[in-house]
Amino acid sequence: MTSLQWGGRFSAPPDAALLAFGSSLADDLVLAPFDVRTSQAHVDALAGGSIVDAPTAAALHDALQTVATEIEDGRFAEFARGSGAEDIHGAIDARVRELQPQAGASLHAGRSRNDQVATTLALYAHDRARTGAARTQSIARHLLARAAEELNEGTLLAATTHMQPAQPVLLAFWLQAAAEPFVRAAHRFAAAAEFALHSCPLGSGAVAGSTLPLDRQAACKRLEFSQPSRNAMDAIGTRDVVLDVANACVRALADASRVSAEIVLWATPGFGYVRLGDASSTGSSLMPQKRNPDIFELVRGCASEVAGLYVGAVSSTIGLPLSYHRDLQETKKLALGACERTLAALDAFERALRDTSFERDAMRARAATGYTIATDVADALIAAGVNARDAHTLVGAVVRAAEDAGRALDEHDLLELANEAGLKKLNAPLDAAASVAAKKTSGSTSSDAVRAGLASLAAELETI
């Protein structure tokens, strides 16, 4: 029995090197459990249309169940590699034919690998998108828990823009800012998961549908799609479902890369804002003192890698005429790579994050340095009736003088500013805690606003 699913019309076998070049088996092993499900649904479609009789359907289901078990316990990969099949679809078909020679010969009736790949990819996309949603939700939950802890502690931090000291904030506010994108990422994954099961390609055949009365509804129902696809040519030619998940992947990893970059910086002696745990740090083979943030660096690097895979996947569809082209095998490989790498990186990111602790005193000590309260002082002038331009200039001059004298802003500066503005006195925060407490807008870093923000985000998270 040949493991190739074609060959009758050729008089000579294919060139072994070219067959190896065209093989996607190594890339699609991860699809194996989903392809079995696709085949089980196809058996339902065959039986529902009386294309195979009940004993044949039962024999096929039996064989597919065996394959499912072999995939689960790891035995199938070895069979697949030794089978000489071009891809996972051929390998599963070969194993079914080996287990049930007679019934197995009917499994592929009315089916093409084109509708099979498209359906299998949709099931894979759904599964990985759900995992992506769960991982990003879990990261967001962890960040929210850490935020609640730091809100309790009242930990202060100098927020930066352009990496320059900007304004004092609560560390809980930074943690909320880190959590928000992961909630958005979870929404994107959840939407991709839902979209993946919108339209079931199975029963589309190679491109034009089938003359066999396949029971498409039965297949659709077993696989829990909303409906059978409306157009066979589109159904077998699109890779939208897996591209959507890959897109959600790159976006989530971009978010993780930004938090990672900040932690890498915070772990330097120049900042000293975090301590990396032993379990998630790495040493140097030469420098005995080293404690390196490799995991966060790798997550950052992975984000670029996955962005490249995603762009590669989309690019491989650009300019393709409608319908199936073998180029789409490359799309699949790149998109699958993006998904697998992302899920591993998100898991590593969360583990490393859980193992990282904050150096609260170091953060607090620097929260008001760099004149981070200057904006509040200018705001106080504005609230007392000075126009915004004048307030900005006046406070800028006071900052310049203090900087020249090598000191922070103090009560004396407030008095001077009051004088210059023709006011009796100026009430403005002079330390980081007072600055944070003085914030009045929703979404700000005041502890009330952060408490409300965290509660709202936590509630939203549970709706995904």
- Binding stretches for ligand ARG (CB under 6 A): 24, 87, 113-114, 117, 324, 326, 328-329, 332
297 half-sphere exposure, CB direction, 13 A CA radius: 11
Rounded Cα–Cα distance for residues 414 and 425 (Å): 7
Instruction: Report the nearest approach of ligand ARG to the CB of residue 133 (Å).
Output: 26
162 is catalytic: yes
Rounded Cα–Cα distance for residues 369 and 156 (Å): 12
> What is the per-residue burial (b if ≥16 Cβ within 10 Å, else e) of 37-70?
bbbbbbbbbbbbbebbeeebbebbbebbebbbeb
Question: What angle (nearest 5°) sits at the alpha carbon of residue 121, between those of residues 118 and 125?
Answer: 140
Residue pair 200/122 in contact by the 8 Å Cβ criterion: yes
Question: Which of the residues 284, 304, 315, 442 is marked catalytic?
Answer: 284
Largest CA distance in the chain: 102
316 is catalytic: no
Instruction: Report the nearest approach of ligand ARG to the CB of residue 301 (Å).
Output: 28
Tell me whether residue 113 or residue 135 sits nearer to ligand ARG (CB atom): 113
Instruction: Report the nearest approach of ligand ARG to the CB of residue 113 (Å).
Output: 4
Catalytic residue ranges:
162, 284
